[in-house]
Structure 1
Amino acid sequence: MVNWGMIGAIISPNVGGWLGALTMSGKVKQPDGKAWYQTLNKPSWTPPSWLFGPAWTALYSGMGYASYLVYTECGGLTDDAVLPLSLYAGQLLLNWTWTPIFFGKQKIGLGFAHMLALDATAVACTYSFYNVDPTTAYFMVPYLGWLSFATCLNYSIWQRNKPKPKI
């Protein structure tokens, strides 16, 4: 028997990520035809662009499965599920809205501030998930690791691309 609830929980976070990526693809070109992101001064440890899609698909799927575990352990949308699933929804919304801020609006510093809020919410979500079902840590901790890396990358790109002060 197909567990449609589990499948929906795994696919749902990916949908927002895919929609964010689709809205940004092919946009924000510079006069030389390069995408804005390609023109930025990035650190040598920046992953190749092709890695982001598979990484986020795996991470979104893992956190979606963790949300399913919390939902089932709490017996559905019960009082016990309200806090962890609200934190989950909040961090997911922050996650999805980072892309339009960083890429769409080209606000690297605001993207970094947004990322810090996402980090805090994701940690709170992971902690609340763990308190419901410790197994969820296997699916949320890789996400926290990637967010930590992404936060450092965002900060580095922001620092490397600040406008030079006029003398």
Structure 2
Amino acid sequence: MNAMDGWGLAGFVAACVAVASSGAIFKPGDWYEGLAKPWWRPPNWLFPPAWTLLYCLIAASGWLVWRKAGFAGAALPLAVYGVQLLLNAMWSGVFFGLRRMDLAFVNVVALWLSIVALIVLFAPIDSLAAWLLVPYLAWVSFAALLNFTVWRMNPDAARS
């Protein structure tokens, strides 16, 4: 790995750290703790390590595609990469900040679709990069189900 590759990796890691900061800014808090939740919801302590691992995989995935094709050679895939990062960053603010479980569900569905598109776009460039996104897709699938379930279990809390 040369210096340029190292700076590129640092850029992808920094982008993921910036996205992750939305979860540090918009925390669950008392409002979330007061909501009815399904029995199968993971404990709160599981979310930070799970997301840390996922952000590492997301950063590595983007970096692998950038390293192989560059920004010019992978303009569309890397644009979709940016879109999924933006959608990812928005979710905590919509769900915990605005307390709009309905809009957060729309957001997480859009995020899920962007991840699927990203896997499809990354696969021809670097198959490992595409595979690194599969755990992310699985977790976001679970998160979408959890978001939907909590929203349906708390219809009066969706906008309060």
Equivalent residue for 2:116, pick from 114, 123, 128: 123
Deviations 1:15-54 (A, max 9, x none): 221x2123224xx86xxxxx11100100011111111111
Q: What TM-score do the two structures reach when normalised by structure 2? A: 0.89
Residue in structure 2 matched with residue 54 of structure 1 by the alignment = 49
**Matching residue's letter, 2:62:** S
Residue in structure 2 matched with residue 71 of structure 1 by the alignment = 66
- Residue 37 of structure 1 contacts residue 103 of structure 1 at CA under 8 Å; is this kept in 2? yes
Mark the runs of 5 or more structure 2 residues left unpaired by the alignment: none
**Matching residue's letter, 1:23:** I
Equivalent residue for 1:9, pick from 12, 15, 32: 12
Deviation at 1:130, TM superposition (A): 1.1
Q: What TM-score do the two structures reach when normalised by structure 1? A: 0.86
For 2:24 and 2:50, the matched residues in 1 are separated by 16
**Matching residue's letter, 2:140:** L
Deviations 1:77-106 (A, max 9, x none): 11x311000000001100100110000010
Aligned pairs, number: 154
- Residue 112 of structure 1 contacts residue 155 of structure 1 at CA under 8 Å; is this kept in 2? yes
Structure 1 residue runs of 4 or more that deviate by more than 4 Å after TM superposition: none
Q: How does 1:7-156 map to 2 (within 5 A)?
A: 7-17=10-20, 19-25=21-27, 35-74=30-69, 76-78=70-72, 80-156=73-149
Q: What is the Cα-based RMSD across aligned positions, in Å?
A: 1.8
For 1:24 and 1:10, the matched residues in 2 are separated by 21
Among the aligned pairs, what percent are the same residue?
38
Mark the runs of 5 or more structure 1 residues left unpaired by the alignment: 30-34
Based on CA coordinates, which of the two structures has the bigger radius of gyration? Answer: 1
